[in-house]
Chain A
Amino acid sequence: MSHVWRPVFVVLAVVAGILAARFFIVPPDFGTWETGYMYGWHKKSDENFWKDAFKVKHQGNDYCANCHPDKTTSLASAKHSILLCENCHGPAFEHPSEPPKLPAPRGREMCLRCHVKLPYPTSLRAEIPGFLDPEEHNPGMDCNMCHNPHSPNVTGPGKTKEVFRKAKYGSE
């Protein structure tokens, strides 16, 4: 055989090396394509990671009601009834074992998310009561010094405005 074929053998050896490495490195479940090769080619076991291994953090108001029924009841009959405990307190995760405490952030920032008045025509934001300039209303004070977030109306409990309830729950 002519010597010109010798480089070919070197190349074949390299290719064999790559394929051998591939056999050990690439997991055997790689290469499923239920949705086609272009959009669906992947390692099957990754789906299980996202379904099972990745933990759920937000648990829902019912989770909180188990131990804090007073808070959830007062919230449900207040103007803030459309809010969730975890909106302000953060995700419950495995509370009370992890995290042991769920403090809501103090200060004005949490409240200003909605209660800075932005009178935008065509947006539901225009319906939310608030201040054009929050600094005009008791500057420097935290909101919860006068307003209980679980029942924020200063003069007593109040019902959530119809337009907000309809937005969240539909016309039921």
Chain B
Amino acid sequence: MRISVGAAAGAGFFGALRVLAPGEAKAIAQTANLRWIFLVDTYKCVGCGMCVRACKLENEIPYDAPVTRTWVERYVVLKDGTLLADSPSGARDGFTNPNTMGRDVKPEEIKKAFFVPKLCNQCDKPPCVQVCPVGATYKTWDGIAMVDRKWCIGCGYCIMGCPYGVRFFHPVYNVAEKCNFCYHRIHKGLKPACEYACPFGARRIGNLKDPNDPVTKIILSERVSILKDEYGTVPVVYYLGLDEVVR
């Protein structure tokens, strides 16, 4: 039923001003039986880059474009204390060269080296969502931060606001873009493309509200870390085997 312009406008305007009290928001989160979390095992990641390739193909990010929803970083700590780190094309083609950061690394020089997959942390308190001026990015009730491609104005504030650098401008649609845990797959009972593609089980999605979920069990019982906790973003992507050199 069409309501009068005045009522609609007034409702819209005052609706915009209403801020949900923290208690109310918490209550909604607590009654939901689905809360996505993610576990990354950096001991298992071999740097093959199959996850990045699968993500690009699944989510229609142009393969040659130098942007990606997820990527893998390599860290090589040498015996003399030097840290080398790189992520060639986001590891879209894997790591096929021991040359890191322009340095030919010999096996005997290495103290420790490993790979760290990165993706959107779907923070509980996402600074990217907070700074969107038009409400084009938002958290769903099950905890995923999404981008509304039809509403984004392309200002880039959300990209500036993310401490993890997971956001970018989509080269074709010219709006903000980021990993959304393959929302279109997880709601059909499938795994995100990166988890699906990883041959070594380094990436796993889980449901925090399901006590029988193997990922939840690990997160609640084993030693896990998160990235950049000093920003207070409360990420839900947990890491096994994170090292102090990881950025």
Contacts and interface: CB of A to CB of B under 8 A. Distances in A.
Direct contact between A and B judged by beta carbons closer than 8 A:
yes
Interface of A: 19-20, 22-23, 26, 30-31, 33-43, 46-47, 49-52, 54-58, 60, 82-84, 86-87, 90-91, 109, 112-114, 116, 118-125, 128, 132, 134, 164, 167-170
Nearest to A24: B5
A84 B199 contact: yes
A121 B110 contact: yes
Nearest to B192: A58
A87 B185 CA distance: 17
Nearest to A57: B58
A120 B214 contact: no
A167 B111 CA distance: 23
Contacts of B202: 167
Interface in B177-217: 180, 183-185, 187-188, 190, 193, 196-202, 214
Contact of A114 (B41, B46, B183): B46
Contacts of A83: 199
B199 A35 contact: no
A46 B190 contact: no
Nearest to B198: A168
B199 A82 contact: yes
B153 interface: no
Given A57-B193, A84-B197, A39 B130 contact: yes
Interface string B109-134: 01111110000000001100110000
16 contacts: A38-B130, A40-B25, A43-B135, A43-B148, A47-B140, A47-B146, A49-B149, A50-B183, A86-B197, A87-B54, A116-B95, A121-B113, A122-B113, A123-B114, A125-B45, A168-B200
A15 B190 CA distance: 48
B96 A113 contact: yes
A122 B114 contact: yes
Contacts of B76: 120
A116 B199 contact: no
B164 interface: no
Interface residues of B, number: 75
B57 A90 contact: yes
Contacts of B146: 42, 46-47, 50
B220 interface: no
B135 A132 contact: no
Given A19-B5, A124-B200, A116 B148 contact: no
A38 B21 CA distance: 10
A57 B188 CA distance: 13
Contacts of B113: 118, 120-123
A112 B49 CA distance: 11
B47 interface: yes
Interface string B22-43: 1011001100000000000111
A19 B9 contact: yes
Given A50-B184, A167-B200, A123 B46 contact: yes
Nearest to B51: A87
A34 B28 contact: yes
Of all A-B residue pairs in the complex, the 7 with the closest CB atoms, nearest first, are A113-B94, A42-B138, A120-B113, A36-B25, A19-B9, A54-B184, A36-B20
A34 B30 CA distance: 12
Interface stretch (B10-18, B154-162, B166-174, B224-232): B10-18
A42 B58 contact: no
Contacts of B45: 123-125
